Structure 1
Amino acid sequence: MELRPWEAIVVGSGATGGVAALTLAEAGLRVLVIEAGPSLDAKQALGAEPQNMLRRLAGLSSGRHRRQSQHPGYWKHNPDLFIDEQDNPYSHPPDRPFLWTRGDQMGGRSLTWGGITLRLSDADFKASQRDGAGLDWPIQHEDLDEHYTELERRLGVHGARNGLSQVPDGWATEPLPSTAEEQQFASCVQKELGYPWMPSRGFGPHHRKRDGAWPRSSSPGSSLKEALASGRVELLCGERVERLELNRSRDRAEAVICVNRSDGSRRRLEAKLIVLCASTIQTVRLLLQSEEQQSSDGFVDPSGRLGQRLMDHVSTCRFFAMPSCGPGKSGSAEALSGAGSFFIPFGQELAQRGGQRVLRGYGLWGAINRFDPPALLKRIPEHRLGFLIGHGEVLPDPRNQVTLTGPPDRWGTPTVTIDCHWRANEQAMVEHMHHSMGEAISAAGGRMLPLTDLVKAPLIEPLLRRSAALGAGAAPPGYYIHEVGGAAMAAKEEEGVVDRWNRLWRCPNVLVVDGACWTSSAWQSPTLTMMAITRRACLAAVRPGND
């Protein structure tokens, strides 16, 4: 089938790009997906040990992965899935670090996604009605329900129906089993503290015989694979979209301008619909490059808010040892995964402590006896290793922003400066998290200790001690790779960059559907909601009558 002229261009091939391509193809459109990085087969993308470790050492010694190596995912995956920081620079104020993790290859960061799939609740979409901070989303759970359900069903996520208002139930196959220690932990925190508890929802570990070469949580293993199989989707790799090109009236985008990553040449590619799925900060960069303040023929942002209110989840981590609940060997359950873990999902119902009010909410993600090392490397025999990590909502502050004030990269495109840091509410939330973690671990009979007091790791202990995740407070923004905002949706054009259907207010054939469009960060892992927003917006774009 001849696909040119394309009817839609999708920028990015990750979690949202795959859903956008599949949704538009199933609606009958001819679609071009543009990916900045290379097309890799599964063997190249996933790699294997010990080769991956040798690549990590090379990435660290060369300085190519100095910032991204702070995240534990770097030590789990093929480091070639993390962008070369020297070729792709960005900046931040010296006293306000931002750890930006990027992945330019077919599948984007879906190849390193942890695979947790939690829905947002109406308490999250309408949080400002309670506390007056920021704006409400112009949509609610009901608007995304059918799209959540379709994605959960097609992806085959694991989970349970827990009846918790802060995490709405959805479609799921059976939950993965909890370890004996996790069951004991759940019993203690529920009975003694009244804390909510639930098995996590999402994907289990990748099994090649069951899932195929690619993990089901990745777009090449799910949505993008189906999109390409439709015969209506073409994939163009190695081209970074630099900016949009508008018509003379500046009310519609006619094309995108791409930069070839190999030789720096530029080309113009046309389509009637353009869907931005490049990831939050990359999409904001592209929009800033295409807006009238940067270019006289750019689109108009009547809100003046483009680039503002960048958010990430504020996070902090604690490790602990818990007495073994049986004779089974360490790690006897399935390995740690999106569904092989648990949550203490407080949501926005936080008890006020110390007389200080904390706005919004958080959840604690955890696991026990899923990543224990061999007995010889454990400092406390007959105990199982556990962790708790807080996911905390960050308020949408206009001072947290992305600007095009960095020097040009080697292709001549302006680079971004990211100015974002934790403020008083986030700092208070981290203190609240620490208190809740301590209570939970103590109630379950565990001992909270630094990871280096639990595991013998002489070769990497210096790296562990410098890790952003293992410090006393919160890791810097960007660390948790849940960045959202910068081109928020709103009910009025003076309040946000896109409308409730994810269309630029003054250029409605451009859809912003990745994390850039988020009005507030909520506290749940954002990827499933990004995908649901993408499906809703793409269907609306091909169905007349939405206003």
Structure 2
Amino acid sequence: MNKDMYIKEQNNKFDVLIVGSGITGGWAAKEFCERGFKTLMIERGRVVEHRKDYISEGKPVWDYANRTKVDNLLVEQQHKIQKDCYAFHDGTKHFFGNDRDLPYETSEKTDFRWIRANQLGGKSLLWHRQSYRMCADDFLANKRDGVGIDWPIRYHDLAEWYSYVEKFVGVSGSKENLPNLPDGEFQAPFAMRGPEKALKAAIEKAYPGRSLIMGRAAHLTEPTMLHMSQGRVQCQARNECQKGCSFGAYFSTQSSTLPAAAETNNLSIAANSVVHSLIYDEKRNRVIGVRVIDNDDLSTREYFADVVFLCASTIGSTQIMLNSTSKTFPNGIANSSGVLGHYLMDHNYNAVARGDLDGFEDEYYKGRRPSSCYMPNYQTRPELYRKGYLRGFAYGIDTYRGDWRGMSYQDGIGSDYKDQLSKPGKWGAVFAAQGEMLPHFDNQMSLHPTKKDKWGIPQIVFDVQYRDNEKAMMDDAAQLGAEMLAAGGCTNIKSSTSYELPERAPGIAIHEVGTARMGRDPKTSVLNQHCQSHDIPNLFVTDGSGYCSSGVVNPSLTFMALTARAVDYCAKEIKAQRL
């Protein structure tokens, strides 16, 4: 990367300002730079250079003082929230935020988990890389149910953009011809294990309409010339992705979109730059720039451009908008509708079923496959809903063979016990549900009237909770998972829900969406069908903020498609001199 790309003080006006450098910020930068626009990417955290700054990559478990467990005192002081993330451990903690410096508030009935990754690349260095398209029914659900507002787009509006980003990203998966999970542009899928193939055959026979497939993940299994030209090569199946991947085998800003943007010489990056608010010209009704506070010395500066794209995450972008007030917008910029900050949703990962799988003693597996199996949502339309709740859920499905880690908790002593530890144990299978969360006006984020963080920005107050629909869904998902495991031949089956546990509160799925929703009517929505503000033509928000419903699938692939589509639209509007 060219060192001249990184700036601090800057008097020049840019064509485009992009706030955030994660999955959507990286895509916006790539698309604008390749179209010839002088682009400034603003990142509140430090610079992370590809390969150089993956400081724990390849470090084996036994080289950590506590086998990757983070010291309890450090957790208590800095990571009380972050520790609940599946990817947090001693080899990844440097990519997570420091909770002590990033305070927020919750209402009495809320225990929200806000996972932070403030560095160049954002959470693209930490995501779980599951890459699924929303289906046609997802964009119709609100209209059919009368919950929330209708999406202003349909699947066909995004289909070509899904293909566009999939080819660049590199997604492994299998063609299945399922209406509830559209196929994409896939590289070869990872292989199913023998027990998974058996489960698939048994469950699909017992439950027509339910499909067990290999997960679709942003990992290169058959890198193309495009990918290799970026320095990306085939996935090595180490499953240490959150430490950073020098192979570039999984998609991240650092491995893919950032090099593409930098190659154009149209990109500048302002790191360690915390965006305080947007600068609004009331006479012209345009956002003309951003106010920034230095992450280190707390000095202030401003950057200016013709167009602003907010890609700071659903919560981050909405916080900036709520903190940008004026006579025209006293309750947050572009908030004439009054819905900014409301309808916050996250996915509902709160039901699990597991059991033992007899047989397959001659089966094992090698490597550490970085993706598991998947059962897509089969309750996509009202006539398919189960009694007692709306919408549906998917399952992440995995099989595993017991080893010394599990057997170390069993009773035993002496040489016979030690000998057992060296032998593989029984096979097991697990079904973990991922459910939809309905849009509710009262599930919201707002700014605290008096409390501020160290940059002088009002702290966020979260008032978000799982409601009866989400709880009934997870109760059912736990039961259905157990039934399917039984149909697959499992024994010793146990199932449970966890929505009542603080560490499983909303936010922990890290799929927050919906706080600046799209819509056809400016009176009830913040953005139009192109992720463009209804109120201010040159302001776009292309992270998860624009969602009208959460759907069931992991959202990152849709974030990318929406961003690429929005940039294409914006570039045409600039050319037509309408912005």
When normalised by structure 2's length, the TM-score is: 0.84
* 1:96-115 mapped onto 2 (5 Å cutoff): 96-115=110-129
Whether 1:426 aligns to 2:470 is: yes
Counterpart code for 1:248 = E
Asked if the contact 2:390/2:469 (under 8 Å) is kept, the reply is yes
Q: Indicate the residue corresponding to 1:342 in structure 2.
A: 374
The residue aligned with 1:510 is 539
Match of residue 203, structure 1, among 208, 211, 218: 218
In structure 1, the partner of 2:441 is: 398
Amino acid in the other structure paired with 1:166? N
Deviations 1:37-83 (A, max 9, x none): 11123353452344495682267444311112112221485111110
1:318 aligns with 2:332: no
Given that residues 125 and 139 in structure 1 are in contact (C-alpha distance below 8 angstroms), is that contact kept between their aligned partners in structure 2?
yes
Q: Are 1:216 and 2:245 matched, yes or no?
A: no
Q: Aligned residue for 1:442?
A: 486
1:541 equivalent in structure 2: 570
Q: 1:226 to 1:267 in 2, by over 3 A?
A: same
Secondary structure of the structure 2 residue equivalent to 1:97: coil
The aligned counterpart of 2:340 is: 306
Tell me the equivalent position of 1:243. 277
Tell me if structure 2 keeps the 8 A contact 1:179–1:369: no
- What is residue 453 of structure 2 aligned with on the other side? 409
Q: Is the 8 A contact 2:385 2:391 kept in 1?
A: no
Instruction: State the partner residue of 1:165.
Output: 179
For the residue of structure 2 that corresponds to 1:442, the secondary structure is helix
SS in structure 1 at match of 2:293 = strand
Instruction: Point out the structure with max Rg over C-alpha.
Output: 2
Write the letter of the residue equivalent to 1:199: M
Distance in 2 (CA, whole Å) between partners of 1:284 and 1:98 is 16
Deviation of residue 410 (structure 1)?
1.1
Deviations along 1:343-384, one digit per CA (max 9) or x if unpaired, are 24324258555xx33211211111112896657548696322
How many angstroms apart in 1 are the aligned matches of 2:322 and 2:470? 27
> Which amino acid is 1:322 matched to?
L
> What is the TM-score normalised by the length of structure 1?
0.89
Separation of aligned partners in 1, 2:32 and 2:435: 34
For 2:516, which of 487, 495, 508 is the aligned residue? Answer: 487
In structure 2, do the counterparts of structure 1 residues 318 and 65 end up closer, same or farther at CA, with 3 Å as the change threshold? farther
Would you say how many aligned residue pairs link Structure 1 and Structure 2?
Answer: 527
Closer, same or farther: CA 216–234 of 1 in aligned 2, 3 Å = farther
Contact kept, 8 Å, 1:336 with 1:367, in 2: the verdict is: no
Distance 1:196 1:273, change over 3 A: same
Secondary structure of the structure 2 residue equivalent to 1:508:
coil
> Does the 8 Å contact 1:395/1:520 carry over to 2?
yes
For the residue of structure 2 that corresponds to 1:287, the secondary structure is helix
Structure 2 Cα separation of the partners of residues 328 and 400 of structure 1: 47
- Whether the 8 Å contact between 1:177 and 1:333 is mirrored in structure 2 is no
- Where do residues 93-242 of structure 1 align in structure 2 (5 Å cutoff)? 93-194=107-208, 195-204=210-219, 210=234, 212-242=246-276
- Partner residue of 1:71? 85
CA deviations over 1:278-309 (Å, ceiling 9, x no partner): 01101110010114489759634221100000
Aligned mates of 2:54, 2:494 — CA distance in 1: 33
SS of corresponding position for 2:537: strand
Per-residue deviation, residues 242-296 of structure 1 (Å, max 9, x unmatched): 1100113261100101111101111110011111110110111001011448975
Letter in 2 for 1:360: R
SS at match of 2:302: strand
Q: Find the counterpart in structure 2 of residue 455 from structure 1.
A: none
Q: CA deviation at 1:405?
A: 1.1
Equivalent residue of 2:48, what SS? coil
For residues 494 and 333 of structure 1, do their structure 2 counterparts lie closer, same or farther at Cα, with a shift above 3 Å needed? Answer: farther
1:205–1:337 CA contact under 8 A, matched in 2: no
Q: Could you tell which deviates more after superposition, 487-496 or 195-204? A: 195-204
Partner SS for 1:106: coil
Q: For the structure 1 residues 440 and 485, does the alpha-carbon distance in structure 2 shift closer, same or farther, using more than 3 Å as the test? A: same
Determine the C-alpha separation between the residues in 2 that align with 1:129 and 1:233.
41
* Corresponding position of 2:319: 285
Deviation readout 1:381-440 (Å, 9 max, x if unpaired): 632233222111111100000000161011111010011001111111111111211111
Question: Helix, strand or coil: the match of 1:504?
Answer: coil
Deviation at 1:323, TM superposition (A): 2.6
Aligned to 2:362: 327
SS of corresponding position for 2:471? helix
Equivalent AA in structure 1 for residue 370 of structure 2: S
Question: Counterpart in 1 of 2:390?
Answer: 359
Aligned amino acid, residue 217 of structure 2 = G
Match of 1:456 in 2: none
